[in-house]
Amino acid sequence: MIKKIKVTLRGFNGENVLVHSDVFHGFKSTNFKSRKELLKEQINFVEEISGEKNLVFPTFNYDFLKNGTYSIDNDKSHVGVLSEYFRLQKSVFRTNEPVFNFSSSKKLNFKRIDSLIDPFDKYSFFNYLYDNNDTILHYGSPFSSTTFLHYIERKSGFLSYRYDKIFEGKIIENNELTHVKFLYHVRPINEHLDYDYIKIENDLTSNGIMIKFLDGRTSIMISNLKDMSDFIIDKIKIDPFYLLDNESKKWVMPKVNKLGRGFLLADFE
């Protein structure tokens, strides 16, 4: 299985591999005596199947939304033990976008310099990966863990069921402070809004966009980010509510149609 995944993953274009991880559904570990050894072995697995490609892990930290501060060097990853281990042990670079930031095993030519940061716009790191024709690897993680769908929504130009909210704060880098505004498209408060992940995943696999490897508890999924994005955007052009599950559609579609526009902050808060 590992050999097949190595051949498949290395055949994808792009120098970077974005890794969403869940160690409990990655390759089975057997030779570890501590939590640190387990995580080291899991990283070794990811490095082995990725070959010479650069690894990028989401190291999202949501504290900026509460305290208005993002420390590039010190803020822990809130999205899994393997991503935090990678940040501490392997990473040499971390993006300077609050909340949705990423750590890389190589120095990348990416830096936000604008004072209003939209983490899903054409200047975002998501777009950097898209433009570089890079790969997403779900190493044990479910498809529902990908945040790339939010970038796809924004890129499509048809997003109507979220609204923009601005958070002000500061980025700390090398003891220097940069004051920024963070534009976050949030889901409506006190309402059900979720995605039909099973449908989306099935559409991607049946059309050859996503390749899956399953063996017992081990689950590996690989996609080209540009192909995945373009495929989903084509679906959204036909149905602007394509991503949503049926429960969400039941109230979202009538409300958007009644308003005659997308949602605004004042509609809910």
Tell me the one-letter amino acid at 199. K
End-to-end CA distance of the chain: 50
Domain boundaries, the chain: 2-267
Closest CA to 56 of 28, 92, 18, 26: 18
- The 3-state DSSP class for residue 30 equals coil
Using alpha carbons, select from 227, 223, 211 the residue that is nearest to residue 1: 211
Quick one: how far is CA 25 from the chain centroid?
18
The pLDDT assigned to 246 comes to 98
pLDDT score of 30: 78
Average pLDDT per block of 10 residues along the chain, 269 residues long: 86 94 90 86 95 96 98 97 98 98 98 96 98 98 96 98 98 95 96 98 98 95 98 98 98 98 96
Strands 163-173 and 176-186: antiparallel
- Does residue 2 contact residue 27 with C-beta atoms inside 8 Å? yes
CA-wise closest residue to 18 among 83, 74, 73? 83
Q: Which residues of 226-263 are buried (b: 16+ CB within 10 A; e: fewer)?
A: bbbbebbbebbeeebbbbbbeebbeebeeebeeeeebb
Calculated CA dihedral for residues 39, 42, 48, 53, nearest 10 degrees = -70
pLDDT of residue 29: 83
Give the SS3 label for residue 230: helix
**Cα separation, 244 vs 255, whole angstroms:** 14
Name the amino acid, one letter, at 8. Answer: T
The overall longest dimension of the chain from CA atoms, in Å, is: 60
Per-residue model confidence (pLDDT) at position 69 = 98
Query: Can you give the pTM of this predicted structure?
Result: 0.95
